[in-house]
């Protein structure tokens, strides 16, 4: 983790009130937090999901090893369909597609590398890739499946 | 003499009136098997808290007590011309949902005595499929052709479009609480070319195995949610692994149009010509329930 990224993340956390009010309208959140999340994403996620979060080619079909390739995170993907709590859990603990032909995790676990609030910053960045309607949908999902602690609480810590 | 005849007539009138009152009050009546329709069985549902099956034909609805084999007719509301699906609400033995093109989604809390519409958020009333979530009694999924799959998490109070569905989807979908979903379970959808499967986040539809042909019936085992059953024009098939592999279930050569596994593990099949069968001897043979 680059120290500058951490510094920007903590500066970004100061602007959480702005994030919350913007999120209410389905708008992208605070730019400092977004930049921090983008830097963490580039360091830990981009190798598989792509520098522009474009995902792997043919991500909808199992690869030669019978595993699902990394999906894109933009409007064409499905990241926006998951609540904050589920995204936090998937990044932290990983996830294995039960129809994988191998026993490996389909999505690796990052709990050793990334504390919850840095994962929350990545999720904040990912939200900038979605349409307004997708952000609104995802916000409703997050409220309906309320995490403990919430994304906002994680970022306030 | 005239007075006695008048009293007899009055007694008979009162009796008929009383019976009509019961009929009106309950919106249903016991029927013999011979009185059942010969039209397609469109949908089967089961309340986990009772031994009753709800059997929907295109233009009729029945409650079958599987212990006594007694069929009870449930009156359809006037606005319903055709039924496409029925759902018994888990935890509420008298609660039923109906899908009826032209009327939309209807809900009864009193076993069919009265109905109310539950269409808020649906773009049309042409609802062709309706199912319940495996574990959440108030979560329903509805299919509107050429639009997609809608979800309600408040018993039909309002609906939200979730996904257009897989390619060539028909009207039949199933929710299973099979594990390892990113959300709460999995949606299985019948298509004109096999079964498709997605986690109930509607993240990605994938083919479930290589079962060929149009799927005309689909269900899962609520006690073993990775066990899926599907019907094609080749018969009934069973998957033990969430749709990856399929094996034929022998013995039933009729056109199956509805399948259901109850919480007690019994497999039922309704046919295009109105028969209802129950699989016995570990699905090696089928027993007809409707007396045709």
- 292 residues of chain B, pLDDT tens digit each: 445 554 555 455 444 444 443 443 445 566 655 566 778 999 999 988 888 999 999 999 999 998 888 999 999 999 999 999 999 998 898 999 999 999 999 999 999 999 999 999 999 999 999 999 999 999 999 999 999 999 999 999 999 999 999 999 999 999 999 999 999 999 999 999 999 999 999 999 999 999 999 999 999 999 999 999 999 999 999 999 999 999 999 778 889 999 999 999 999 999 999 999 999 877 778 999 874 4
Question: How far is B43 from chain A, CA to nearest CA, in Å?
Answer: 29
Say if residues A124 and A71 touch (Cβ distance below 8 Å): no
Say if residues B233 and B215 touch (Cβ distance below 8 Å): no
Distance of alpha carbon A89 from alpha carbon A71, whole angstroms:
17
Considering chain A, what is the average pLDDT of its residues?
84
Residue B185 sits at the chain A interface (C-beta within 8 Å): no
On chain B, the residues whose CB falls within 8 A of the CB of A71 are 203-204
Chain B residue with CA closest to A59: the answer is B204
On chain B, the residues whose CB falls within 8 A of the CB of A86 are 182-183, 201
Has residue A100 got a pLDDT over 60?
Answer: yes
Please provide residue B276's backbone torsions phi and psi, each rounded to the nearest 5 degrees: -125, 130
Contact residues, chain A to chain B, C-beta under 8 Å: 60, 68, 71, 78, 81-82, 86, 90, 95-99, 144
- Dmax (CA) for chain B in angstroms is 81
Please provide residue B98's backbone torsions phi and psi, each rounded to the nearest 5 degrees: -125, 145
Residue B183 sits at the chain A interface (C-beta within 8 Å): yes
Q: Do A82 and B201 touch (CB under 8 A)?
A: yes
3-state secondary structure B219-255: EEECCEEEEEEEEECCEEEEECCCCCCCEEECCCCCC
> What pLDDT, on a 0 to 100 scale, did the predictor assign at position B281?
74
- Name the pTM for this structure: 0.85
- Residue A27 pLDDT grade (very low, low, confident, very high; cuts 50, 70, 90): low
The predicted model gives A111-115 an average pLDDT of 97
Peptide bond connecting B127 to the previous residue in cis, omega within 30 degrees of 0: no
Residue B43's nearest CA partner among B28, B22, B27, B59 is: B59
Residue B242 sits at the chain A interface (C-beta within 8 Å): yes
Distance of alpha carbon B83 from alpha carbon B98, whole angstroms:
7
Distance of alpha carbon B265 from alpha carbon B221, whole angstroms:
7
Distance of alpha carbon B29 from alpha carbon B38, whole angstroms:
18
């Amino acid at each position: 983790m680059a120290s500058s990224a951490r510094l920007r993340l903590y500066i970004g956390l100061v602007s959480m009130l702005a994030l919350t009010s913007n999120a209410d309208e389905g708008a992208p959140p605070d730019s400092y937090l977004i930049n921090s999340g983008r830097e963490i994403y580039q360091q830990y996620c981009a190798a598989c999901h792509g520098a522009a979060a474009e995902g792997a080619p043919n991500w909808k079909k199992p690869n030669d090893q019978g595993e699902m390739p990394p999906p894109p995170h933009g409007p064409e993907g499905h990241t926006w369909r998951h609540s904050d709590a589920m995204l936090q859990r998937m990044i932290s603990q990983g996830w294995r597609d039960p129809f994988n032909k191998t026993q490996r995790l389909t999505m690796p676990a990052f709990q050793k590398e990334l504390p919850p609030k840095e994962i929350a910053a990545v999720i904040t960045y990912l939200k900038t890739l979605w349409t307004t309607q997708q952000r609104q949908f995802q916000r409703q999902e997050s409220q309906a499946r309320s995490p403990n602690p919430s994304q906002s609480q994680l970022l306030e810590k | 003499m005239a007075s006695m005849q008048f009293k007899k007539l009055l007694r008979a009138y009162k009796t008929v009136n009383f019976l009509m009152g019961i009929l009106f009050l309950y919106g249903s009546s016991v029927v013999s098997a011979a009185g059942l329709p010969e039209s397609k069985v469109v949908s089967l549902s089961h309340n986990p808290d009772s031994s009753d099956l709800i059997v929907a034909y295109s233009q009729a609805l029945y409650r079958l007590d599987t212990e006594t084999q007694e069929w009870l007719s449930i009156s359809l509301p006037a606005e319903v011309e055709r039924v496409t699906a029925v759902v018994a609400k888990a935890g509420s033995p008298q609660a039923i949902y109906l899908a009826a093109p032209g009327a939309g989604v209807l809900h009864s809390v009193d076993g069919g005595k009265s109905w109310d519409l539950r269409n808020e958020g649906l773009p049309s009333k042409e609802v062709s499929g309706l199912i319940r979530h495996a574990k959440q009694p108030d979560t329903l999924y509805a299919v509107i052709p050429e639009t997609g799959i809608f979800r309600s998490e408040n018993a039909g109070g309002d609906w939200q479009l979730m996904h257009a569905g897989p390619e060539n989807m028909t009207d039949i979908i199933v929710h299973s609480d099979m594990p390892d979903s990113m959300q709460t379970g999995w949606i299985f959808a019948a298509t004109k070319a096999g079964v498709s499967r997605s986690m109930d986040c509607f993240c990605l539809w994938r083919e479930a195995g290589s079962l060929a042909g149009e799927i005309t019936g689909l269900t899962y085992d609520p006690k073993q949610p990775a066990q899926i059953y599907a019907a094609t024009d080749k018969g009934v098939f069973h998957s033990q692994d969430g749709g990856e592999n399929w094996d034929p279930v022998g013995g039933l050569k009729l056109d199956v149009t509805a399948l259901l596994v109850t919480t007690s593990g019994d497999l039922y099949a309704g046919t295009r010509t109105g028969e209802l069968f129950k699989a016995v001897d570990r699905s090696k043979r089928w027993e007809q329930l409707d007396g045709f």
